[in-house]
Structures are given as structure tokens and as C-alpha cells.
Chain A
Amino acid sequence: MKEMIEIKSDKDKVIRSLQELEFEFAQGNISKKTYNSQKRDLEEKIETFEVADRVKRLQGKGDSEKPLEYWTEKKEQEKEKLAKEELMKKYITTSSPSYPSNKTAKVNVNRRKAVLTAVLALIFITGIGFGVFLMKVPESAAVSMNINQSAFPPIVNNTTNVTNTTVLTTTSNTSSTSNTGTDTSTGSNTNNGGNTGGNTQTTNKTK
């Protein structure tokens, strides 16, 4: 089969050469003598190929009931198929997904944007919540503070306060006086007299 295919392809080459020769002669690029000579050679070759083709068929090669052109076309189709597969492998990687339809792609993009927007909103709300929770609102009214410390030692006051109170009481028959004195600096001294009188005079002296 392979030999037959090769014969067919060689025959096609010779036929093409003959066609080219006729074209060249029609153009006037070659002389008539040269044209006749080459044409004779090519026709002999074609006849040889046809004889060989007939011989092969007569030898019975199984599927030779089908014409040779069938097998040639099938071979060419297989070649084209292989070439296409190689192109597919070369330019289309296996990792790329199968091409979704336009509608599906748009849905995926929209879904992704919605998820990102939701995440952003969640982060925003969390941040605001943190800020409100940690924020300390300043007191509206100023706090009135009192400071009573001092860099200086306290001054000690050694003055003495003395208060004397004299009460005079006289009666018709008897006269009496009573003295009351109080010393506030170191303590209190009270002097009460035991006499009583009708008249009372009170004097206060303070040192």
C-alpha cells in the first residue's frame, strides 16, 4: 500500500512537470525541439507508472479494490489531521480553561466584584466599630481641680491667744467676784471663783 501511494505521488509529480512544460512552451520560454524531447520523456514515465500501478493491482493487495486515489486522499487527510492536532497542542495550552460563553464570564466577574465589595464593606464596618469602641469622648464640662501642694515647707505659727473673762456678781448682802481665764496656746486654764454677787460685770481681754 505504501508503495502504491508512493507511485501515485510520483506519477502526480510527473504529470505536474508535464503541465509546467506545456505552460513554458506556450509562453515561448523553451524551443519546440526541447519541448518535444522533454514531453516524450515525461510521457514515458507516466506510462511506466501506469504499468506499475496495474501490476500492483493485479497482485491483489487486500484493500486494492478501492482506487488508489482513495488511499491517497485518506493519507492526505490523516496528515492534515495530525498537523491540526500539533497546532492545537502548540498554541492552545492544556491549563487554559475551556472557553466559557460570554454570559458565563460576565456572571463570574460580577460575582467576584460583589464578593470583594462585601468584604470591603465588612472591613469598613469593623474599622468604624473599633474606632467608636476605642474613642474616648472628652468631658463636656471642665473639671474644676484644686491643687494645694507647695514647694515650700509649711509656716509654723507660735503666737499665743489668751482670753480672760471676768464676771462680777454682787448681791444686797454679799459681794463676790469670779475670774475665768483661758490660755489657748498651750492648753486651757480655768479659774472659777466660788463667790457670787448681785451685780455682774464682764470684761474680756485677749492677748
Chain B
Amino acid sequence: MKNYLFFAVIVILSLVILTSGCVNNDSFNTTQTYSGNGISFTYNGTWEVANTTSPNAVVAVGDPKTVDAQKNPYTFVLIQKPNETQNNDLDQTYNQNYATLFNNSSNQHVSEANITVNNNRALENIYLTNSSGMQMQMRAVWLTQKGVIYVILCGTIPANFDKEQKNFDLVINSFKVQ
């Protein structure tokens, strides 16, 4: 009986040791929180805040594992505000923006929808675009908080678009204007 107990302990310990060696880092669900420039949101713990030269950009975060030679990550989330000279009507600003954007043949409309983010109405537009010779799939979420329009632009390559939705949703659903 004692021998069986000893053997069982050995087997259990072996399973624990072998399993611990096979744990993938991606399985860790760590997150980070950004707070600044009047907004806050939560994003993937392995991502980092990026520099941005985009117009009216508030902040940008990206996946450092996806950077190219020019240090441009192809998986990112960028938060912008439309030009202040424009009116604050969400639908009008949204429609004007994409009326111009899709005049360019390098941008291909995929879908759009009315969605709800934290019980607030938002507009979502998904499209394909060519960026620096690489095709990207963008998911832009337009929403208004405290009277200000924000655009959360989530982008990645089409092959990773579905896989990255959980990271995009993390930012979108946690976005708050302070």
C-alpha cells in the first residue's frame, strides 16, 4: 500500500513538472492601463505605447512583436479626435469622413454597423487599406463621450484580424474619458 502511494505521488509530481515546462507565454492574460491626455483604457500587457505622427492623435499603442524595419507595428490601436473645426455631430462627421476616405481606391469598404460601447451608441467601420505597401484591415469605432468625438482605430494585417479582436475589444470596451 505504501509503495502504491509513493508511486502515485511520483506520477502526480511528474505530471506537474512536465506541464510546467510547456506553458506558453501567450497564455498569460496580463493587461496594462493607460491613463493620460484626458482618457484611459486597458490594453494587452505585452503591448507598448507608441510614438505617433497621425493628425489629432491622442495616444497609440502597438504590439512590439509586429514591428517592421521602420519600427512600424502592423498591429496597433490609435485614438484620434476629429478636427476641432468640424461640428460635433457624430453621424455627420462619420459620413463626411468616409465619403472622402473611400474616394481613394486604395481603401476598400468591408462593413459598417451601429454598435453599443458601454451603453453608449457608437459607429463601427471596417475597411481594407494599403499602408506603406502592406495591406491592412482597419476597424474604426467612432463614439462620443462628454461631448467630444473620439475615433478608436484598430488595425492589423487581414490574416490576424480575427485573432486580434479580443485585444481590440479590450481597448474599446475599457475606453473612458476622464
Asked if B55 and A145 make an inter-chain contact with CB atoms under 8 angstroms apart, the answer reads no
Other-chain contact of B67, A112, A124, A130, A143 (Cβ < 8 Å): A143
Most B-side CB within 10 Å, residue of A123, A127, A134, A151: A151
> CA separation between A130 and B19, bound complex, in Å?
9
Q: Is B128 an interface residue (CB 8 A)?
A: no
> Inside 8 A of B10's CB, which chain A residues have their CB?
116, 119-120
Asked if B53 and A153 make an inter-chain contact with CB atoms under 8 angstroms apart, the answer reads no
Q: Is B151 an interface residue (CB 8 A)?
A: yes
Given A144-B51, A145-B51, A145-B72, A151–B67 Cβ distance below 8 Å?
no
> Measured between C-beta atoms, what is the minimum distance from B53 to chain A in Å?
5
Asked if A120 and B48 make an inter-chain contact with CB atoms under 8 angstroms apart, the answer reads no
Asked if A130 and B21 make an inter-chain contact with CB atoms under 8 angstroms apart, the answer reads yes
> Inside 8 A of A139's CB, which chain B residues have their CB?
64
Q: Number of A residues contacting the other chain (C-beta, 8 Å)? A: 29
Asked if B62 and A145 make an inter-chain contact with CB atoms under 8 angstroms apart, the answer reads yes
> Inside 8 A of B56's CB, which chain A residues have their CB?
152
Task: Give the size category of B's interface with A.
Answer: 35 or more
What mask results when residues 72 to 84 of chain B are scored 1 for a CB within 8 Å of chain A, else 0? 1100101010110
Q: Is B52 an interface residue (CB 8 A)?
A: yes
Asked if B80 and A151 make an inter-chain contact with CB atoms under 8 angstroms apart, the answer reads yes
Asked if A135 and B25 make an inter-chain contact with CB atoms under 8 angstroms apart, the answer reads yes
Most B-side CB within 10 Å, residue of A120, A135, A148, A149: A149
> CA separation between A116 and B17, bound complex, in Å?
15
> Inside 8 A of B25's CB, which chain A residues have their CB?
135-136
Asked if A143 and B64 make an inter-chain contact with CB atoms under 8 angstroms apart, the answer reads yes
Given A124-B17, A145-B62, A134–B67 Cβ distance below 8 Å?
no
What mask results when residues 147 to 161 of chain B are scored 1 for a CB within 8 Å of chain A, else 0? 000010101000000
Q: Is B18 an interface residue (CB 8 A)?
A: yes
Asked if A123 and B97 make an inter-chain contact with CB atoms under 8 angstroms apart, the answer reads no
What mask results when residues 44 to 81 of chain A are scored 1 for a CB within 8 Å of chain B, else 0? 00000000000000000000000000000000000000
Asked if B153 and A153 make an inter-chain contact with CB atoms under 8 angstroms apart, the answer reads no
Q: Is B60 an interface residue (CB 8 A)?
A: yes
> Inside 8 A of B20's CB, which chain A residues have their CB?
127, 131
Asked if A145 and B21 make an inter-chain contact with CB atoms under 8 angstroms apart, the answer reads no
Q: Is B178 an interface residue (CB 8 A)?
A: no
Asked if A149 and B76 make an inter-chain contact with CB atoms under 8 angstroms apart, the answer reads yes
Given A145-B48, A146-B71, A148-B72, A153–B101 Cβ distance below 8 Å?
yes
> CA separation between A147 and B18, bound complex, in Å?
41
Asked if B54 and A128 make an inter-chain contact with CB atoms under 8 angstroms apart, the answer reads no
Q: Which residues of B contact A (CB under 8 A)?
A: 3, 6-7, 10, 13-14, 17-18, 20-25, 48, 50-57, 60, 62, 64, 67, 70-73, 76, 78, 80, 82-83, 97, 100-101, 103-104, 131, 136, 138, 140, 151, 153, 155
Q: Which residues of A contact B (CB under 8 A)?
A: 112, 116, 119-120, 123-124, 126-131, 134-136, 139, 142-153, 155
